[in-house]
Structure 1
Amino acid sequence: MSAPQSDNPKQICEKILIEGKRYNVEHRILPSENAVSDRLLARGIELTEAYEELHGKLHAHPHALQVFLGLVLSTAAFWSPEKIAQARTARGDLGNVNQQIARRAAELAGLLQQRSDLHNTSGFSTDTHYHVCDVIEAAAKSNYLFTSYVQERLDALHGQFDLKYWPSLSDFLQELASDAEDAVIEATDPLTAAATMASRPSRADFIKALLAAIDENRGRNHGQLPNDFKVTDNTLATLASCVLDLGADDLVDGPYVKRLRQREREGAK
């Protein structure tokens, strides 16, 4: 006898996708995730075995199957090859901006020191800031929290300790220059780190991001996926092929994912 419709893994998974999309449409949110849902629904036959595996491993854990499918949608939507390329570009832009800050802050530090020397030796002066506290107070004059809670205490310190106890404006700018020059760029979350780890883009970026998302949502990290949950290489390959909308001549296969995982394990040693 065939299994009841409600027990069919493919139908169960597709019902989760359909209900999720309906909710998003009704609330006018997450159109990019809806587009991924459409890809999965359109390629349901390819996903039959993947759905059977996922249902078999997750159905006994409340909400785990829904959480996993949600991770697939969000990872594909926000870590598509286009988004990952943008992230890599942004990483390069951040490095370039830091280098510009380092150069210009160092240049400004030199000009501030030159102005200070001229004040002391030329017989002329200007009514410009010379104390770091003056700069802080002027910059924060429109900040209600500063003027209400910090300014009085800063004024007290300013009056208690004369100029020799404070960094000069030149010192202040030189520190900003050194800080930017020595800055190390790091990803702010595991998915960004995983998706952009490689120097060159590839289909592996999405798979690595999805694996990171799975780890972030395990029980040990206060998520709803079992700690021992592991997706097989073939299922990961099928999911990647479908959500990335790869054609028949460009599909990801199980051996590709196996090699990727092996490289990741070797790299972690």
Structure 2
Amino acid sequence: MPAWLECKGTVMTEQGTITPSQICERLLQKGKAYNIEHNILPSVNAVADRLLARGTELTDAYVELHEKLGSHPSALEVFLDQLLSTAAFWNRERTREARSDRERLQIINAEIAKISASLYSLIEERNDLHNRSSFRSDTYYHPLDLIEKAAAKNYLYHCHIRDSLATLRGRYDLKYWPSIGDCLLVLSRDAATSKVSASDPLTEAATQGKRGSLADFFKTLFVTIEQNKRRNAGFLPDDFRLTDASLASLVTCALDLDPDEVVDSAYVKRLRQRERERVGTPA
């Protein structure tokens, strides 16, 4: 798009006058058309439709966005793309699913710890019976037996590892190797002491609260903006910061909040203050 001159909420281009709202909505429509053409991201398009349908509520936010990002190549388009993606993939339903995944992973680790410890006890008891009774069971006794059996269909194992392990097994007898029971005991302790953590900053931001709330979405959006700044190899200027009122309007429309849930600038201001106090840096 040609370089434009700003004048009281309008932009002068070679083709005539265009408002910041029209610029932003054209970018939204462009992204939506691309997704439809490639049959991708319907959830992102749904958010774009919300913004397009509630454009009159976003006039001031669009003016501010254009003032702060319009002169930076690709910055305005990147911001809108990230807003759509964050609203599509980190809304309250998705965040609730993420919290459920975290809780399930904690339960699974606890079960693995418990079951592995039980298996260890059973294997040790079986070994004791093998050693003191007049009975044997045709079961694996060497940890490499398990590896060999588990890798039966692994071509790369047979081509590159199997012979080397067989050589080591022939060179060192059983006393040099951990028992199968010992391996299970380590597995149990590993699961019992593991700490479940988010694998990326957005997941961490969206799920750090004890209970899911709208604040989680704002925190995720803050992180998204920060990650897309130039100091992090993004397109947004490092000093980019939206006003509380613009953030409130954009999030209200992007999430299509009910009338009794609509947030205002005071809510965002309080949230930013809490985040500053929590991390010691500007939100």
TM-score range, shorter chain: over 0.9
**Aligned counterpart, 1:185:** 196
Shift of 1:228: 1.8
Matched, 1:124 2:99: no
C-alpha separation in 1, matches of 2:164 and 2:102: 39
Q: Could you list the runs of 5+ residues in structure 1 that have no partner in the other structure?
A: none
Matched, 1:139 2:150: yes
- 1:135 counterpart SS class: helix
Structure 1 residues 3 and 62: CA distance shift in structure 2, 3 A? closer
- Is this contact kept in 1: 2:11–2:20, CA < 8 A? no
Shift of 1:123: 2.2
Q: Percent identity?
A: 53
Q: Which amino acid is 2:168 matched to?
A: L
**Aligned counterpart, 2:103:** 92
Point out the more displaced range, 215-224 or 194-203: 215-224
C-alpha separation in 2, matches of 1:16 and 1:240: 18
Structure 1 runs (4+) greater than 3 angstroms displaced? 1-7
Q: Which amino acid is 1:90 matched to?
A: D
Point out the more displaced range, 54-63 or 10-19: 54-63
C-alpha separation in 1, matches of 2:26 and 2:178: 64
- Is this contact kept in 2: 1:6–1:12, CA < 8 A? no
Normalization by structure 2: what TM-score? 0.91
RMSD (Å), alpha carbons: 1.4
- Among candidates 64, 72, 87, match of residue 83 of structure 2: 72
Matched, 1:152 2:144: no
C-alpha separation in 1, matches of 2:71 and 2:172: 67
- Is this contact kept in 2: 1:9–1:55, CA < 8 A? yes
- The within-5 A match list for 1:1-269 is 3-4=11-12, 7-269=18-280
- 1:46 counterpart SS class: helix
Q: Could you list the runs of 5+ residues in structure 2 that have no partner in the other structure?
A: 1-6
- Is this contact kept in 2: 1:102–1:181, CA < 8 A? yes
C-alpha separation in 2, matches of 1:120 and 1:247: 70
- Is this contact kept in 1: 2:130–2:137, CA < 8 A? yes
Number of residue-to-residue matches in the alignment: 269
Structure 1 residues 263 and 127: CA distance shift in structure 2, 3 A? same
C-alpha separation in 1, matches of 2:172 and 2:234: 52
